[in-house]
Amino acid sequence: MKTFVLLCSVISIVSPKIIDLSSSKNVSWSFVNNNRTITGKATVPGGIYSDLHSAGIIGDILSEDNDVRTRWVAYDVWSYTAKFNISSKDLQAKVIHLVFEGLDTSGFITLNKHIPIGSFNNMFVRYVFDIKDKLQEGENELYVSFLSPVVAALIRSNKVFAAPDCVPAVYNGECHANQLRKMQASFGWDWGPAFPSVGIWRPVYIELYNGAIIRSVTTHITKVGSKWDLRLKVYLESSQNRTLLAGVLSASLQVEGKQTLRKWTQVNATTAADGTLVVELSLNVSDNVVRLWWPNGYGEQPLYKLKLQFTSDSDMDNPSYKTINVGFRTVELVESDASEILGNGTAGRGLTFYFKVNDHPLFMKGSNWIPSNILPELGESQKNVVDNLLKAARDVNMAMLRVWGGGVYESDYFYDKCDELGILIWQDFLFACSMYPTDNYFISSVREEIEQNVLRLQHHPSIAVWAGNNENEVALRGNWYDTYPLFDKYKTEYIKLYVDTIKPIVEDLDPGRRYLVSSPSNGRESERENYIATNPYDPHYGDTHYYNYFADNWDMDTYPKTRFASEYGFQSMPSLKTMRTATNKDEDFHVRSKYSEHRQHSPNGYSYIEAQITRRMKLKEDDPKYFEKFVFYSQISQAMAIKTETELYRQDQANWYTMGALYWQLNDVWQAPSWSGIEYGGKWKMLHYFAKSFFAPVLVSPRLCSGDDIEVYLINDRFVPITDAWITVDIYNWKSVGPISTRQFPAQANPLSSKLQENADVHLRDYNKEEVFVRFTLQAQGVKSPPNYIFPVALKSVVGLQTPNIQILVSNLVTRRNHDRLEYAVNIRVDTVVPFLWLDTDIEGRFEENGLIVTEPQSVVKFLCNKHVSPRVLQKSITHQYYVN
Ligand code: BMA
């Protein structure tokens, strides 16, 4: 056996042999439009907007109104051509496949000018074409031609219309995205421009082999006593249909202590009609040799390398390999009788909805992920952007992101990173805010898409749940697209797509994970009500999306109860610095400028922002700095609103068993007003800084009630109780620094819980509420918790707020932390209270906290960055803003 392995490692060639057809020294691609007037050098993988930009034909697509000015691109027909060489030896391989990992979206392929290879219509599908008999020795020419996605969608819509007619006019978008299996947001969204992308957006290569290859592997992990049962399903592809495939499949798992667990099985079975064969193999893994994988904030993320090898008897010299990471954890979505936890009152009606990870119910803190770039090819290739966003989520205590249904199934890199960082993923299937057609052509393409993507992603420990679509149950029930007259037809189609087509595929390939038919939905209750529940927003069941731009969003009473908030949010403006990357014309920097109107896709968006700001803050139309303040205050308003709503959900773990808060939305695709916490380009808004505190593992969270009473919750996301702790309540007035009164009371909380502190007698009856605010801090051995605040009245009505003198000094000492991170101490000196002090700099990096409520004469904030800069230069670069009446 040993000699055999040695021998193989010397002479074997990995199967399949890959001939990469990406742009390189050996393969050059070009693009051309329909009438051949525009042509240039292409980058593959890539896309037409990127290529036209590189060729200098279009400018920066995100600048000014270039989204509409470049729309002609999406109306044209684009074709890509490449020449490559094939040797006579390569031609001898039994199987020669042309593989496209991603083609966006509809078109056809030919080889050597006239040989048809095939057609495509789904950007989420891997297309594999048999080209063995079509290749020639020496030079070959590959030609891929794309239809205009806008025209393709229209043609289908004329045949198999499904509502809505079009996106709202303010999106400056395109119609009928629902007709194409394409990133739905690429036809325009309420936070993004329309760039109906076109191109070979994922790798393309030729795959050659003789025996069989491992295409995918799924892992099915269960805990039995002190052992993990790791069942593997290995999906083989071969050149032989309905014939005997013989060989050896082996698996080796590297576990703790540099040990390797091995298992192999003799394969001797008949392949299916398409040459595939599924082989199962089980490994018994003692829990002594692997550690548990936990979501971020609850423990570590150990990953163990699993190597698979298949050697077919007919091609012993060329084994096929596949390596994945395995994380040992269990995840269960628990929907059980809520009265068992909450009693027989209103709260106990219906079902629970929470994730149990490794047998512990965990409150899911996080946000919603939209594509990291509006051009899918860049979302794929700009790994540093994905990296920074996911790390930013990790850094603010998020444990879950929902990959929203209007985007893409993200890259392998994305899910690998989530595995590494402990970010659980709620994965929507890619249907959003629409009814969908269900003709045979569409359904068969969807089938392929679901099967391939579940097989590709299933093994990731980060994936927690699948959901059929974004908001389509509630859209139909709520008549969002005037579908009432055809309710029965659309309901039948809804069931055909998400229940009869997608559900069985997911449940067959991945029986261990819950498939929710929609998000939001009432979960099991929606299923009981034949998939379109009477009220899909029922707070007693499943998840909810909640948006309310009319009420006072700093007031906790505004927000309704829910078992799990999978979306909620408010818009804010991007910073001026980020805006300047899109325009530098002075006249654009006004709320009602043509430019600003162009970027605002949410109908009445600015009026809502304005109303929210002015309900709480002083901002007059005639203020000479109106726009600058509008931008800054919109970020304060958004941060405070989402802080308030999120803390209510966390408190409600005690009252309603709310077990998740994923706000809308983590990131942005352009420089525009949106619900994001991180701006396009990566700059954190105040919201993202605030998230670090409102998602802190231990949090004192107050709630102002009627009668000037303040309830205080202690929230504890740790596995150990909090005992012997004290909560300090400091009352400040607005006109000075330092508290005017301080009280303490003992506090405690059970593990993984939120607890109302019954003995905290906190109220404001002895104060004039306009003059004071309250600060809450926790003192407990070994526990860190951020300060928290109650502002009893609107900032615009407070009495005593002074214009501060602020001094900012950067210490000379620079500390080097792990990962080469540098830390600078930024000292802040003030002579009075400063609300929402915002520090800014053009130097790349970020502050550890921002939007500070400065209550003491001296405080320190760290500045974190990767590149060394002199403290003096940093100090000079820092600017600041704060709220002022
Ligand atoms: C929900 C999301 C998105 C949208 C957001 C803000 O409907 O699913 O479609 O961008 O709200 O309106």
Taking domain 6-15+210-328, whether its CATH number is 1.20.120.450 is answered by no
pLDDT of residue 12: 58
Let me know if 471 is a catalytic residue. Answer: yes
Distance 156 CA to ligand 1 centre (A): 25
Neighbours of 707 (CB within 10 A): 8
Give the number of residues written for the chain. Answer: 885
pLDDT of residue 7: 37
Q: In this structure, which CATH number among 2.40.10.340, 2.40.30.20, 2.60.40.2230, 2.60.40.10 belongs to the domain 698-797?
A: 2.60.40.10
Peptide bond into 45 cis (omega under 30): yes
Question: Which residue has the least CA distance to atom 9 on ligand 1?
Answer: 433
Predicted confidence (pLDDT) at residue 3 exceeds the cutoff of 50? no
Peptide bond into 857 cis (omega under 30): no
> Is residue 620 packed enough to be buried (19+ CB in 10 Å), middle (13-18) or exposed (0-12)?
exposed
Q: What is the mean pLDDT of residues 705-729?
A: 96
Atom in ligand 1 nearest the alpha carbon of residue 602:
12
| CATH topology identical between 17-207 and 806-881 | no
pLDDT of residue 8: 36
- In tens, the pLDDT along 303-321 reads 999 999 999 999 999 999 9
Q: Is 671 in the pocket of ligand 1 (CB under 6 A)?
A: no
Q: Is 191 in the pocket of ligand 1 (CB under 6 A)?
A: yes
Going from the C-alpha of 489 to that of each of 64, 164, 165, 534, the distances in angstroms are: 42, 14, 16, 17
Distance 66 CA to ligand 1 centre (A): 24
Atom in ligand 1 nearest the alpha carbon of residue 404:
8
Question: Which residue has the least CA distance to atom 8 on ligand 1?
Answer: 470
278 near 304, Cβ under 8 Å? no
Q: Is 408 in the pocket of ligand 1 (CB under 6 A)?
A: no
Whole-number Å distance between alpha carbons of 541 and 549: 24
Predicted confidence (pLDDT) at residue 2 exceeds the cutoff of 90? no
- In tens, the pLDDT along 166-190 reads 999 999 999 999 999 999 999 999 9
* 543 CA to centre of own chain: 17
Q: Is 675 in the pocket of ligand 1 (CB under 6 A)?
A: yes
Whole-number Å distance between alpha carbons of 159 and 120: 19
Going from the C-alpha of 779 to that of each of 700, 713, 730, 758, 861, the distances in angstroms are: 10, 14, 13, 18, 20
3-state helix, strand, coil in the chain (%, to 5): 25, 35, 40
Q: What is the mean pLDDT of residues 281-310?
A: 98
Q: Is 471 in the pocket of ligand 1 (CB under 6 A)?
A: yes
Distance 357 CA to ligand 1 centre (A): 28
- In tens, the pLDDT along 66-98 reads 999 999 999 999 999 999 999 999 999 999 999
Lowest mean pLDDT among 5-19, 426-440, 693-707, 814-828: 5-19
Question: Which residue has the least CA distance to atom 12 on ligand 1?
Answer: 190
Distance 715 CA to ligand 1 centre (A): 29
pLDDT of residue 512: 97
Q: Is 466 in the pocket of ligand 1 (CB under 6 A)?
A: no
DSSP run (H or E) holding 30: strand 28-33
Predicted confidence (pLDDT) at residue 10 exceeds the cutoff of 80? no
- State what percent of residues in the chain have pLDDT above 90: 96
Atom in ligand 1 nearest the alpha carbon of residue 569:
6
- Calculate helix-pair angle for 605-616, 626-651, nearest 10 degrees: 80
Retrieve residue 111's tokens.
């080889």
- Look over the chain and give the mean of its residue pLDDT values, rounded to a whole number: 96
Predicted confidence (pLDDT) at residue 1 exceeds the cutoff of 70? no
Q: Is 228 in the pocket of ligand 1 (CB under 6 A)?
A: no
Going from the C-alpha of 89 to that of each of 137, 380, 516, the distances in angstroms are: 9, 33, 50
Predicted confidence (pLDDT) at residue 4 exceeds the cutoff of 60? no
pLDDT of residue 467: 98
Question: Which residue has the least CA distance to atom 4 on ligand 1?
Answer: 190
- From 380, 567, 645, 771, the catalytic residue: 567
Q: What is the mean pLDDT of residues 45-53?
A: 98
Whole-number Å distance between alpha carbons of 858 and 737: 10
pLDDT of residue 147: 98
Distance 497 CA to ligand 1 centre (A): 22
Let me know if 567 is a catalytic residue. Answer: yes
Q: Is 525 in the pocket of ligand 1 (CB under 6 A)?
A: no
pLDDT of residue 9: 39
694 near 662, Cβ under 8 Å? no
Q: Is 474 in the pocket of ligand 1 (CB under 6 A)?
A: no
Could you tell me the pTM of the whole model?
Answer: 0.97
Give residue 207's identity as a one-letter amino acid code.
E
Render the burial of 514-530: b for 16+ CB within 10 Å, e for the rest.
bbbbbbbbbbbbbbebe
Peptide bond into 581 cis (omega under 30): no
Whole-number Å distance between alpha carbons of 772 and 322: 63
Whole-number Å distance between alpha carbons of 161 and 38: 33
- From 410, 449, 471, 525, the catalytic residue: 471
Predicted confidence (pLDDT) at residue 721 exceeds the cutoff of 50? yes
- State what percent of residues in the chain have pLDDT above 70: 99
DSSP string, 859-882: EEEEEEESS---HHHHHHH-EEE-
pLDDT of residue 239: 81
User: Which of 664, 667, 675 best tests ligand 1's pocket when mutated (most atoms within 8 Å of CB)?
Assistant: 664
- In tens, the pLDDT along 673-711 reads 999 999 999 999 999 999 999 999 999 999 999 889 999
pLDDT of residue 14: 84
Sign of CA pseudo-dihedral 47, 48, 50, 54: positive
Would strands 660-663 and 364-369 be described as parallel, antiparallel, or unpaired? parallel
Q: Where are the domains of the chain?
A: 6-15+210-328, 17-207, 698-797, 806-881
Whole-number Å distance between alpha carbons of 93 and 87: 11
Q: What is the mean pLDDT of residues 655-671?
A: 98
Whole-number Å distance between alpha carbons of 27 and 43: 10
Retrieve residue 308's tokens.
């698979």
Whole-number Å distance between alpha carbons of 253 and 260: 5
Write the CATH number of the domain with boundaries 806-881: 2.60.40
Lowest mean pLDDT among 2-11, 405-414, 487-496: 2-11
Whole-number Å distance between alpha carbons of 616 and 634: 11
Q: In this structure, which CATH number among 3.40.50.150, 2.30.33.40, 3.40.50.2000, 2.60.120.260 belongs to the domain 17-207?
A: 2.60.120.260
Q: What is the mean pLDDT of residues 194-211?
A: 97
Peptide bond into 665 cis (omega under 30): yes
Whole-number Å distance between alpha carbons of 692 and 810: 23
User: Which of 167, 186, 190 best tests ligand 1's pocket when mutated (most atoms within 8 Å of CB)?
Assistant: 190
